[in-house]
Amino acid sequence: MKYLVIIGGGLTDQPIAHKDNKTVLQMAETPNLDRLAAAGRTGCVQTIPETCAPGNAVSLLSLLGYDPETYSAGAGEFVAAGLGITPQEDEISLCCDFVTLQSGHNDMVMKDYTAGQISNEDAALLLDALRGQIADANVAFHPARGYRNVLTLKSPPLKNGLTPPDELIGEGIRQYMPSSAPDLVSIISQAQIILHNHSYNKIRKRVGRDAVNSIWLSGNGPRPALPAFSGRRGLSGTVVTASPLFRGMGQCAGLQPVTVAGATGFMDTDYRGKVDAALNVLENRDLAYLHVSAPEMVSMQGQVDSKVLAVEDFDRQVVGEILQALASRKDVKMLLAVNHMCSANLMKYTRDPVPFVVFPAAGGAGSVRRFDEESIAAGGENFATGPALMDAFFKGEL
């Protein structure tokens, strides 16, 4: 048997008052998701343990089948591992994201945690400037993808967790600065001056675009120590993703990452390229994880209408294409799951249980006819943890 796990980043949402209290899934046209739900076995899963903060570093690890409480690691360490970076014993790895801040009342406010979806090439240009000009810090900058990069620094482990920038949209940053780590504050402050004076930002301002005017550091924590996926499941596999974080997780678990040139993580991603890559993997390996994050990205920026479009793109260009490709195959079992709920109203991740569907189902189709939060919660079954869901899936219990 071959296995395909599709992770729809942030597909689910809370009811939105000014949209007749409907969720995005209820507003969107999703014939393929609905067809999959009607033909398969559905339910809800709690991917975020009570002791963990909501976010990708927890939910994605949970859907890989690893308990986030047992195998907790820093997001920066996962991204570094995915880049092949091996920090020294006295170094830490942090996510180093280019962001756009705007002036607020007595504070700077996080406006865009993607820095206008900065390209790899532009991010590399700015990283070069930081490398050449930041002083009095034993620090190295490593490119990952667009706004998301990695910083390695000679430092003891940080005592307090750093808040990721995607959780700070619309909030003043002062209270979230790493005040207990003066070296990090100095690096951020120097970076802001360097970026302010860079010709790249002067050009952006002339054409009416927001400046890339700061970096943001987050993702501290222990180094990954994941048991090999193949040893736990007896399966060889890969991850297809634009996320440096999920790529690193997969690599730490022994799942070979696949790079798709046009995969961006945003709404302009190469859906067909990712789908083809995942299906091609199944020709030679037992398992493919396919991760799509576009609905999550627009959700965390509060773009409700864009999220509807992103969900419809996912339905048509991912689910529809896969259902068509697998129509004549009887050797592939598929799990489609949401990693965590993203509230477009709050621009926050939440702890709400999220839906999944397995096809073909071991016990035949259930009673659910639509893939949305309300329908699946009313007619499906529940799993208390992501690892419990993955165990049931791989054991053929669903």
Q: Dump pLDDT digits (tens) for 89-117.
A: 999 999 999 999 999 888 999 999 999 99
Q: Quick one: 236 exposed, middle or buried, by C-beta within 10 A (0-12, 13-18, 19+)? A: middle
Residue 289, both tokens? 């994880």
Q: Dump pLDDT digits (tens) for 174-233.
A: 999 998 999 999 999 999 999 999 999 999 999 999 999 999 999 999 999 999 999 999
CB atoms within 10 A of CB 207: 6
Q: What are the residue ranges spanned by the domains of the chain?
A: 2-72+226-394, 91-218
Record the pTM: 0.95
- Helix boundaries (H) for 44-143: 56-63, 75-82, 120-133
CA distances from 158 to 161, 208, 310 (A): 7, 38, 37
pLDDT of residue 363: 81
Task: Kindly report the average pLDDT of the chain as a whole number.
Answer: 95
Rg from Cα positions in the chain? 21
Does residue 81 contact residue 252 with C-beta atoms inside 8 Å? yes
Superfamily of domain 2-72+226-394: Alkaline Phosphatase, subunit A (3.40.720.10)
Does residue 142 contact residue 152 with C-beta atoms inside 8 Å? yes
